[in-house]
Amino acid sequence: MAAKKTRKRRESFGAIRLLPSKRYQASYVGPDGNRYTAPLTFTAMEDARGWLARRRIEIVDGLWSPHEAQAATTATKSKATTFADYAEQWISTRTNRHGEHLRPRTAAEYRRLVKGPLADFAESRLSGISPETVRSWYSELLKSGTKTQAARAYELLKAILATAVQDGRLKSNPCQIKGAASASSGKKVYPPTAAELSIIVDKITPRFRAAVILAAWAGVRYGELTELRMKDIERLGDVYVVNVSRAVSHVTGQGAIVGPTKSEAGVRAIVLPPHVTGIVETHLKDFVSRSPESLLFPAADGVSHLAQSAFYKHWDPARSAAKRPDMPWHALRHYGATRAALAGATLKELQSRLGHSTVAAAMRYQHTAGRDEELARRMSELA
């Protein structure tokens, strides 16, 4: 059965349509040639005519503008749109400066934050989120969670509502807490000492010794490390060169997803120091097949990507043997950055080696351990 057509009534200005719901919808063509529809429907035709009459007066008096006409529509929509609905739309349509949609793992993390720390806003109308409610929510979140998670949740909330302002759904962003997005737990990551690293390499499961070496001396991220294949490593004279161009991420419900590196700067060639050549060579000989597509560090089945939870069964005993049960895997990346800095690497060279988009990001990985002693000795030489 065909759907019943709505009836459109011509007016002296604009048009009124009777909808199947028995409500009236008013619209008009503005001076710019575009059609504008009333943000609400009306129960009586006279109300619809009254809305059209007010728009006509605005045009005659020169008070009408396409921006304000559109803003009036979107502002009304914001009253009916919940934060959860708008956030999902934001995540689904968000693109970066290169026009690329969010990566699966990033989108999954954003959805986790929306359903977790930001759940208090789920049923709130966009226009109902005020600076006061944001401050109260943030204060409670700090009491019950970590500063890092609170900062991430706040940063996402601020970004979503900033887009709502751009869309004309909000007049201003209610996220106005200074420094909230950059707050951290205050926990410092301490890289291992040379002695601790030596113990870890000695105690870890043999097939993962080279993984420790690559993380410590090449500074590769875990997702980059576990996507490295035979074709990505080559020997030049007495050293190996690691070519990083991809990374794998593990997304709940989607499994392992291979994609580009964290940023364009992540694509890089890293030369390993000569003293680790033997360990890398032994690994390639004993644990990797000759196929170019063979993973350097696969899961137990030899073909799947190694999940971090599975790897930690080998990592935990090794770091405990070094009396560093507190040390995260990421600390090895700090170790590599520190050693490169001590060797005289410039900030630009550190940026390139670590795959950072900015010099400021590379600076976060510079540790002064050992450097201050070296400077003190040089000062003594000048005394």
Active-site pick, 23, 112, 207, 330: 330
Q: Which residues contact 182 (CB under 8 A, 6 or more apart)?
A: 151
> Positive or negative, the Cα torsion across 264, 267, 270, 276?
positive
Residue 24 appears among annotated catalytic residues: no
Active-site pick, 105, 319, 356, 367: 356
Q: Is 228 in contact with 242 (CB distance < 8 Å)?
A: yes
Q: What span, in angstroms and rounded, lies between the C-alpha atoms of 195 and 198?
A: 5
The Cβ of residue 326 has, within 10 Å, a number of other Cβ atoms equal to 11
Quick one: angle between helices 331-342 and 371-382, nearest 10? 20
Side-chain-side CA neighbours of residue 309 (13 Å): 4
Q: Is 220 in contact with 244 (CB distance < 8 Å)?
A: yes
Residue whose entry in the numeric block shows the structure tokens 């063979």: 294
Active-site pick, 49, 152, 221, 339: 221
Active-site pick, 169, 333, 339, 353: 333
Chain center to CA of 98: 15
267: left (phi over 0), alpha (psi -120 to 50) or beta: beta
CB-count burial class (<10 Å; 0-12, 13-18, 19+) for 361: middle
Q: What span, in angstroms and rounded, lies between the C-alpha atoms of 351 and 334?
A: 13
Residue 221 appears among annotated catalytic residues: yes
Q: Is 241 in contact with 269 (CB distance < 8 Å)?
A: yes
Residue 86 appears among annotated catalytic residues: no
Q: Is 189 in contact with 334 (CB distance < 8 Å)?
A: yes
Distances (CA, A) of 298 to 142, 214, 310: 39, 15, 11
Active-site pick, 28, 86, 240, 365: 365
Q: Is 48 in contact with 56 (CB distance < 8 Å)?
A: no
Q: What span, in angstroms and rounded, lies between the C-alpha atoms of 341 and 338?
A: 5
Which amino acids are annotated catalytic?
Answer: 221, 330, 333, 356, 365
